[in-house]
């Protein structure tokens, strides 16, 4: 991070700040706006696009930047940026098309809407930074392939647990220790939570009930670990991951022993999570090394006797770290976390309650479904329904609680971009998925 710090100060001194356009102005978006305005030299949030203008204005106001100048045309946006006036608009395409903007930060938490933003931004030559594991876990490999072809960077963010995990994974691999598991530390997992049960918690932290439900019911950790797997070539050891629960406060070095490490130490490794361990909500990487002298050194450095060594980061600071991702992309051409090739792990939809024929599936973190990780070759072979595709689908038959949904069980709404992208991704990586089966 020190090299990023230095580079940003140099951009500030030269009067050439990185110019960022942000799409979405919710809880996390407002945090990013505040962070850039108050703590990041050499970077300017020049424009915010939001479905409702008042949300974009609120983000700038809370960051001490006034309430933003409304713009509706490319010329108006260009003039605002040139004058140093923060711009707000309901038209995200203005941001994607503006040559004055270096990178688009997508932070809507949506799927189809976000897919439109990201594909357009890539097509128009913008670096794309996602604070959106759900979109990345649904069509990220295709979007990364498109970005590579366009010569731009596609990345999810540092600060969210997957980005922090990749930093740690790269460190562990860089010192010669072979990662065999990338893990996530959670405080709660109950797949039957819903917005009603999470309402009080959401109100306390000024968040949306369905968002905190997705954290509690396992959907969020599934998407997070899926994109870690896709960035590292790892898989899951079983559908839904193992996810052991440790007594509250158990040190992660001890809690990690609840995972079947030896069974996966000789392959590409797995992604997983533990509940209840400390420090939460951090991340950890389990690695191994064969050289006896290096094992001796690790024992000297209080890492234990092996054969498995636990490295961890005790926190993730979400919006605080997002500007680092933007700087890495724009200044160094480096992604914090992005798919390395074909999908390795997908997130599939499972029934949260007994569902009836004719039911229309609601959204992520709502009442009807929760997400589970599954290896991508199995998803393809069994025709399983991706969680990112499930909302809006209508059931053809009754489905029991905890049953995994299949494409054959639903009618998919017509005309959605996310379905077209899924078809393109399946076609682009069909051979790789067949060979993995």
Which pLDDT value is given to residue 436?
66
Q: Do 180 and 161 contact (CB within 8 A), yes or no?
A: no
CATH class of 2-160+320-332: alpha beta
Q: What is the reported pLDDT for 437?
A: 60
Prior bond of 279 cis (ω within 30°): yes
Pairing relationship of beta strands 270-278 and 345-351 according to DSSP bridges: unpaired
Total-model pTM: 0.96
The 3-state DSSP class for residue 102 equals coil
Dihedral (C-alpha) 121, 126, 130, 133: value to the nearest 10 degrees?
60
**Tokens 């489905």, residue located:** 399
**Which residues make Cβ contacts (< 8 Å) with residue 400, sequence separation at least 6?**
351, 354, 355
Beta bridge partners of 155: 129
For residue 374, the model assigns a pLDDT of 98
Which tens digits make up the pLDDT trace of 318-361? 999 999 999 999 999 999 999 999 999 999 999 999 999 999 99
- Residue 156: the pLDDT is 98
Which pLDDT value is given to residue 197?
Answer: 94
Residue 114 phi, psi (nearest 5): -65, -35
CATH topology of domain 345-436: Type Iii Antifreeze Protein Isoform Hplc 12 (3.90.1210)
- Per-residue pLDDT in tens (0 to 9) along the chain, 437 residues: 579 999 999 999 999 999 999 999 999 999 999 999 999 999 999 999 999 999 999 999 999 999 999 999 999 999 999 999 999 999 999 999 999 999 999 999 999 999 999 999 999 999 999 999 999 999 999 999 999 999 999 999 999 999 999 999 999 999 999 999 999 999 999 999 999 999 989 888 888 889 899 999 999 999 999 999 999 999 999 999 999 999 999 999 999 999 999 888 888 999 999 999 999 899 999 999 999 999 999 999 999 999 999 999 999 999 999 999 999 999 999 999 999 999 999 999 999 999 999 999 999 999 999 999 999 999 999 999 999 999 999 999 999 999 999 999 999 999 999 999 999 999 999 887 777 66
Q: What are the pLDDT digits (tens) for 209-234?
A: 898 999 999 999 999 999 999 999 99
User: What is the sign, positive or negative, of the torsion defined by CA atoms of 321, 325, 331, 337?
Assistant: positive
Q: How far is CA 396 from the centre of its chain?
A: 31
What CA–CA distance (Å, rounded) separates 161 from 183? 10
């Amino acid at each position: 991070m020190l090299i990023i710090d230095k580079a940003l100060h140099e951009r500030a001194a030269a009067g050439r700040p990185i110019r960022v356009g942000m799409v979405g102005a919710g809880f996390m978006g407002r945090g990013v706006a505040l962070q850039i305005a108050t703590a990041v030299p050499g970077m300017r949030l020049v424009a915010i696009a939001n479905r409702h203008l008042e949300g974009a204005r609120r983000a700038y106001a809370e960051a001490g930047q006034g309430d933003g100048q409304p713009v509706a045309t490319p010329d108006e946006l260009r003039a605002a940026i040139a004058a140093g006036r923060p711009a707000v608009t309901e038209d995200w395409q203005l941001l994607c098309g503006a040559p004055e903007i270096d990178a688009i930060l997508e932070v809507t938490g949506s799927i189809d809407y976000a897919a439109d933003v990201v594909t357009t931004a890539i097509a128009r030559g913008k670096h794309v930074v996602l604070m959106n594991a759900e979109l990345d876990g649904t069509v990220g490999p295709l979007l990364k392939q498109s970005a590579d072809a366009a010569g731009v960077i596609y990345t999810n963010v540092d600060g969210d647990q997957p980005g922090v995990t990749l930093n740690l994974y790269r460190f562990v691999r860089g010192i010669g220790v072979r990662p065999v598991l990338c893990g996530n530390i959670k405080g709660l997992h109950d797949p039957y939570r819903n917005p009603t049960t999470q309402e009080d918690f959401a109100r306390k932290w000024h968040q949306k009930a369905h968002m905190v439900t997705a954290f509690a019911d396992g959907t969020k950790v599934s998407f997070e670990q899926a994109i870690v797997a896709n960035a590292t070539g790892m898989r899951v050891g079983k559908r839904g991951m193992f996810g052991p629960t440790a007594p509250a406060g158990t040190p992660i070095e001890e809690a990690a022993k609840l995972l079947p490490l030896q069974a996966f130490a000789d392959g590409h490794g797995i992604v997983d999570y533990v509940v209840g361990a400390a420090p939460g909500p951090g991340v950890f990487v389990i690695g191994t090394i064969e050289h006896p002298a290096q094992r001796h050194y690790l024992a000297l450095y209080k890492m234990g006797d092996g054969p498995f060594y636990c490295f961890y980061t005790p926190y993730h600071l979400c919006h605080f770290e997002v500007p680092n991702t933007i700087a890495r992309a724009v200044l160094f051409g480096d992604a914090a976390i992005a798919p390395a090739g074909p999908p390795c792990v997908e997130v599939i939809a499972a029934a949260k309650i007994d569902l009836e024929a004719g039911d229309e599936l609601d959204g992520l973190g709502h009442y009807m479904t929760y997400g589970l990780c599954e290896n991508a070759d199995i998803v393809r072979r069994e025709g399983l329904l991706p969680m990112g595709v499930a909302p809006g689908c209508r059931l053809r038959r009754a489905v029991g609680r905890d049953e995994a949904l299949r494409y054959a069980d639903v009618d998919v709404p017509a005309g959605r971009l996310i379905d077209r992208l899924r078809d393109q991704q399946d076609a682009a990586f069909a051979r790789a998925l067949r060979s993995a089966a």
